[in-house]
A and B are shown apart, each in its own frame.
Chain A
Amino acid sequence: MENILQQVGIDNYIYLSTLLFCVGIFGVLFRRNAIVMFMSIEIMLNAVNLLLVAFSTYHQDAAGQVFVFFSMAVAAAEVAVGLAILVAVYRNHNGIDIDNLKKLKG
């Protein structure tokens, strides 16, 4: 059966998800707004999900797609905790710019 993966090629999927992953990494490294950093982390994790699903189809193996469920659940839990920390930071600093967080130095 001619599926979309054979038409596009696994290589292009790898390039796309690597690109998305790098977008996420640069977002975390260069943006200073905590919410944008959270979004960048989500982009990183979703790039991985895309890659897993592509490989899952490539190998004709369902395990990759099941793993995506795990990683989505984990990402949701992680962001829930992250947003809770962000609310606490906002209350104490009146802002979410992480450059305000520089009390700890040594």
Chain B
Amino acid sequence: MDILIAIAALGIICLIAEIFNLRKAIVPVTIIGLFAVLGHAVYKAKFGTTLLSFELDENQYFNMVVSDKYALGFSSLFILLTIFLVALTPDFHKEHKPKISDFVAIKLFLLTGAIAMVAFGNLSMFFLGIEILSISLYVLAASEPKNVKSNEAGMKYFLMGAFASGILLFGIALIYGATGTFDIPSIKALSTTDLPSWYTIGCVMVFIGLLFKIAAVPFHFWAPDVYEGSPALTTATMSTLAKVAAMASLFKMITTLNPHLAGYITCINVVAVLSMIVGNLIALRQTNVKRMLAFSGISHAGYMLLSIHFTNFADAQGNLLYYAAAYAFAGIAAFAVVLSVCGKKGNEEVYNFNGLGKTNPLLAGVLTCALLSMAGIPIFSGFFAKFFLFSQILAKGQVTLVIFAVISSIISVGYYFKLIIAMYTKDSTEKVQPVPVAYTTVAVTAIALNIAIGLVPSLVMGLIR
């Protein structure tokens, strides 16, 4: 609760700072504020108490928000990702200096939505969280009103997102009808008893709504278009923060609601396997880097969905957080490089990256590391994330799923290497552009964090276990 309030307040401070002509202070103040909240969240997750002199009693808020270790661990990850995204903002929106407060404030409100999505203790909080996140993303996706592609992406995302929220809301209404409460612990207690058939339908509709948000395969068709058309920084937000938030929330939902439906786990397995295979196969023939990363994101959603097979709940939560962190840091690093290479060009085709290994070896190295991490090559945390996840699934005895997952991650090496080969073997056709310091800093920090959590997994796991 305290984290949510602090971040929402920070967003409002951004908007007020614009009124008082303090535009230069917005980004530094936001980043410092976010670091403070991050410290608070990590401390609370580690030690269970806070350094504040007062304590907010969550019972006083009717358990709307539950700050358990799961919620705090994921909140810390989201805050860290937002720090990166805010640090990229001023250079990306150089031509729109007067609007910088809007872009930063919307990202902060998006973060509130993301935190509400993992920390909910009540279905109404869950719904508000998912809507705050989605509406902020609609605005960001369409934030270049004169660009036809951005219009199209915004419109498509809006229609699909609103459609998915409608389905999700109908599911929530049916669950309410069956149980008579929105409170998550009460629903969990009631779900073992005999309930009307509406309950099953409601659970399935909630899952479908969330599968839309994480872009798992039968519901993924919007993702590539929206990722390609949106401004690159928004694509970075969607593919890291929004995807990880929706995934964390889906995991919490699946482990909370028991839909009384034989074979629903099989359905989720099919969705996960299809996401991995289809995402990776279609990514092979993409020439646009944003589209390629969109399909890569679809396949990673498939891997993360597999985390619902566990023997030890706390370990499963830790593994999911670890996977999400590894994926998101690699994603941020990759997008920081994409921003600096394709910033002014208006397209993100692979040929833009030709010869990057010679013209800017640092950025080329960072992008290589990020892609290798996503592909799951050792020493990067992407490998350890897959390793922990697969051993968790094997412990449950789901060998077939692991075979599919390993095959699809071998396929994925194909398209990640396409980009790496373009960077190192082809010659550059264009002259070198100066790269803003912020992009390089973010890229290097994100990849350093990725390698650090690969070497010391307990940095992340310790937050939850």
Interface residues of A (CB under 8 A from B): 10, 14, 17, 21, 24-25, 28, 34, 37, 41, 44-45, 47-48, 51-52, 54-55, 58-59, 61, 63-64, 66-67, 70-71, 74, 77-78, 81-82, 84-86, 88-89, 91-93, 98, 101-106
Report whether A51 and B158 are in contact in the complex, using a CB–CB cutoff of 8 Å.
no
Nearest chain B residue, comparing its CB with the CB of A69: B124
Indicate which residue in A51, A61, A102 contacts B180 across the interface (CB closer than 8 Å): A61
Q: Which residues of B contact A81 (CB under 8 A)?
A: 135, 138-139, 158
Closest Cβ of chain B: how far from A9's Cβ, in Å? 13
Interface residues of B (CB under 8 A from A): 123-124, 127-128, 131, 134-135, 138-139, 142, 145-146, 148-149, 151-156, 158-159, 162-163, 165-166, 169-170, 172-174, 176-177, 180-182, 198, 224-225, 228-229, 286, 288, 291
Q: Which residues of B contact A41 (CB under 8 A)?
A: 159, 162-163, 166
Nearest chain A residue, comparing its CB with the CB of B282: A106
Tell me the number of A-to-B contacts counted with CB atoms below 8 Å. Answer: 129
Report whether B145 and A78 are in contact in the complex, using a CB–CB cutoff of 8 Å.
no
Q: Which residues of A contact B288 (CB under 8 A)?
A: 106
Report whether B131 and A101 are in contact in the complex, using a CB–CB cutoff of 8 Å.
no
Assuming the contacts A45-B169, A67-B176, A106-B286, asked whether A101 and B158 have C-beta atoms less than 8 A apart, the reply is: no
Closest Cβ of chain A: how far from B208's Cβ, in Å? 12
Report whether B163 and A28 are in contact in the complex, using a CB–CB cutoff of 8 Å.
yes
* Bound: A71/B145 CA distance, A: 28
* Bound: A80/B162 CA distance, A: 12
Q: Which residues of A contact B228 (CB under 8 A)?
A: 104, 106
Indicate which residue in A10, A25, A64, A85 contacts B142 across the interface (CB closer than 8 Å): A85
* Bound: A14/B172 CA distance, A: 14
Indicate which residue in B139, B155, B176 contacts A52 across the interface (CB closer than 8 Å): B176
Report whether A104 and B176 are in contact in the complex, using a CB–CB cutoff of 8 Å.
no
Which of B149, B153, B169, B174 has the most A CB atoms < 10 Å from its CB?
B169
* Bound: A64/B174 CA distance, A: 11
Known A-B contacts: A51-B174, A98-B159, A105-B225. Give 13 more (CB < 8 A).
Answer: A25-B166, A47-B170, A55-B177, A67-B172, A67-B176, A78-B134, A78-B165, A82-B138, A92-B151, A101-B151, A104-B152, A104-B156, A106-B286
* Bound: A63/B139 CA distance, A: 30
* Bound: A105/B225 CA distance, A: 7
Q: Which residues of A contact B225 (CB under 8 A)?
A: 104-106
Report whether A74 and B128 are in contact in the complex, using a CB–CB cutoff of 8 Å.
yes
Indicate which residue in A14, A85, A104 contacts B177 across the interface (CB closer than 8 Å): A14
Which of A14, A70, A88, A91 has the most B CB atoms < 10 Å from its CB?
A88
* Bound: A89/B154 CA distance, A: 9
Report whether B181 and A63 are in contact in the complex, using a CB–CB cutoff of 8 Å.
yes
Q: Which residues of B contact A88 (CB under 8 A)?
A: 142, 145, 151, 154
Closest Cβ of chain A: how far from B438's Cβ, in Å? 28
Assuming the contacts A70-B124, A92-B146, asked whether A85 and B163 have C-beta atoms less than 8 A apart, the reply is: no
Report whether A51 and B155 are in contact in the complex, using a CB–CB cutoff of 8 Å.
no
Q: Which residues of A contact B139 (CB under 8 A)?
A: 81
Assuming the contacts A77-B135, A85-B158, A106-B291, asked whether A48 and B166 have C-beta atoms less than 8 A apart, the reply is: yes
A-B contact pairs, 15 of them (CB 8 A): A24-B166, A25-B166, A44-B163, A48-B169, A48-B173, A51-B174, A63-B176, A63-B182, A66-B124, A70-B124, A74-B127, A81-B138, A81-B139, A82-B138, A85-B158
Closest 9 CB pairs of A and B: A44-B166, A55-B177, A59-B180, A88-B145, A104-B225, A101-B152, A51-B173, A85-B154, A85-B142
Nearest chain B residue, comparing its CB with the CB of A10: B177
Q: Which residues of B contact A47 (CB under 8 A)?
A: 170
Q: Which residues of A contact B165 (CB under 8 A)?
A: 74, 78
Report whether A51 and B177 are in contact in the complex, using a CB–CB cutoff of 8 Å.
yes
Closest Cβ of chain B: how far from A39's Cβ, in Å? 12
Closest Cβ of chain B: how far from A28's Cβ, in Å? 5
* Bound: A88/B158 CA distance, A: 13
* Bound: A66/B183 CA distance, A: 14
Report whether A55 and B166 are in contact in the complex, using a CB–CB cutoff of 8 Å.
no
Q: Which residues of A contact B156 (CB under 8 A)?
A: 101, 104
Nearest chain A residue, comparing its CB with the CB of B146: A92
Which of A28, A58, A67, A104 has the most B CB atoms < 10 Å from its CB?
A104
Q: Which residues of B contact A21 (CB under 8 A)?
A: 166, 170
Report whether B176 and A28 are in contact in the complex, using a CB–CB cutoff of 8 Å.
no
* Bound: A55/B176 CA distance, A: 7
Report whether B181 and A103 are in contact in the complex, using a CB–CB cutoff of 8 Å.
no
* Bound: A70/B128 CA distance, A: 8
Closest Cβ of chain B: how far from A99's Cβ, in Å? 12
Q: Which residues of B contact A78 (CB under 8 A)?
A: 131, 134-135, 138, 158, 162, 165
Report whether A37 and B159 are in contact in the complex, using a CB–CB cutoff of 8 Å.
yes
Report whether B151 and A104 are in contact in the complex, using a CB–CB cutoff of 8 Å.
no
Q: Which residues of A contact B155 (CB under 8 A)?
A: 34, 85-86, 89, 98, 101
Q: Which residues of B contact A105 (CB under 8 A)?
A: 225
* Bound: A82/B134 CA distance, A: 12
